[in-house]
A and B are shown apart, each in its own frame.
Chain A
Amino acid sequence: MLKFDHVSKIYKGGKRAVTDLCLEFDKGEFIVFIGPSGCGKTTTMKMINRLIEPSEGKIYIDGKDIMQQDPVRLRREIGYVIQQIGLFPHMTIQENISLVPKLLKWPEEKRKNRAKELLSLVDMTPDYLNRYPHELSGGQQQRIGVLRALAADQPLILMDEPFGALDPITRDSLQDEFKKLQKKLGKTIVFVTHDMDEALKLADKIVILRDGQLVQCGTPDEILLNPADEFVEEFIGKERLVQARPNIQTVKQIMNPNPITISRDRSLSEAIQLMKHHRVDSLLVVGEKRELKGYIDVEMIDQKRKKASFVADALEPEMFTVGQDTLVRDTVRKILKKGMKYVPVVDDSNHLVGIVTRASLVDIVYDSIWGEDDLSQSV
Chain B
Amino acid sequence: MDMFMNFFSQYGTEMLFKTWEHLYISFIAALLGIVVAVPLGIALTRTPKMADAVMGVLGIVQTFPSFAILAFFIPLFGVGKVPAIIALFFYSVLPILRNTYTGVKDVNSSLLEAGRGMGMTGWERIWYVEVPLAIPVIMAGIRLSTVYLIGWATLASYIGAGGLGDYIFSGLNLYQPEFIIAGAIPVTILALLMDLVLGKVENWVTPNGMKKMKEAA
Q: Is B35 an interface residue (CB 8 A)?
A: no
Are A135 and B212 in contact, CB atoms less than 8 angstroms apart? yes
Q: Is B74 an interface residue (CB 8 A)?
A: no
In A63-100, which residues have CB < 8 Å from any B CB? Answer: 72-78, 80, 82-84, 86-92, 99-100
Q: Is B120 an interface residue (CB 8 A)?
A: yes
Question: Which A residues touch B113, using CB under 8 A?
Answer: 51, 82, 86
Asked if A89 meets B133 with Cβ closer than 8 Å, knowing A51-B113, A103-B124, the reply is: yes
Interface residues on A, range: 20 to 34
Measured between C-beta atoms, what is the minimum distance from B193 to chain A in Å? 29
Q: Is B111 an interface residue (CB 8 A)?
A: yes
Question: Which A residues touch B207, using CB under 8 A?
Answer: 90-91
Q: Is B65 an interface residue (CB 8 A)?
A: no
Q: Is A276 an interface residue (CB 8 A)?
A: no
In B94-139, which residues have CB < 8 Å from any A CB? Answer: 108, 110-111, 113-121, 124, 128-129, 132-133
Q: Is B196 an interface residue (CB 8 A)?
A: no
CA distance A133 to B102 in the complex (A): 24
Report which of A78, A86, A90, A99 forms a contact with B110, defined as CB distance below 8 A.
A86
Q: Is A49 an interface residue (CB 8 A)?
A: yes
CA distance A295 to B154 in the complex (A): 111
Are B212 and A134 in contact, CB atoms less than 8 angstroms apart? yes
Q: Is B75 an interface residue (CB 8 A)?
A: no
Are B132 and A103 in contact, CB atoms less than 8 angstroms apart? no
CA distance A91 to B152 in the complex (A): 39
Are A92 and B119 in contact, CB atoms less than 8 angstroms apart? no
Interface residues on B, range: 20 to 34
Q: Is A342 an interface residue (CB 8 A)?
A: no
Dominant SS at the B interface?
helix
Are A74 and B110 in contact, CB atoms less than 8 angstroms apart? no
Question: Which A residues touch B128, using CB under 8 A?
Answer: 88, 99
Are A84 and B118 in contact, CB atoms less than 8 angstroms apart? no
Measured between C-beta atoms, what is the minimum distance from B137 to chain A in Å? 13
CB-nearest residue of chain A to B210: A90
CA distance A83 to B114 in the complex (A): 10
Are A132 and B213 in contact, CB atoms less than 8 angstroms apart? yes
CA distance A243 to B110 in the complex (A): 37
CB-nearest residue of chain B to A104: B119
Are A88 and B129 in contact, CB atoms less than 8 angstroms apart? yes
Are A103 and B116 in contact, CB atoms less than 8 angstroms apart? no
Question: Which B residues touch A80, using CB under 8 A?
Answer: 114, 117-118
A residues sitting closer than 8 Å to B (CB atoms) are 49, 51, 72-78, 80, 82-84, 86-92, 99-100, 103, 132-135, 148, 158
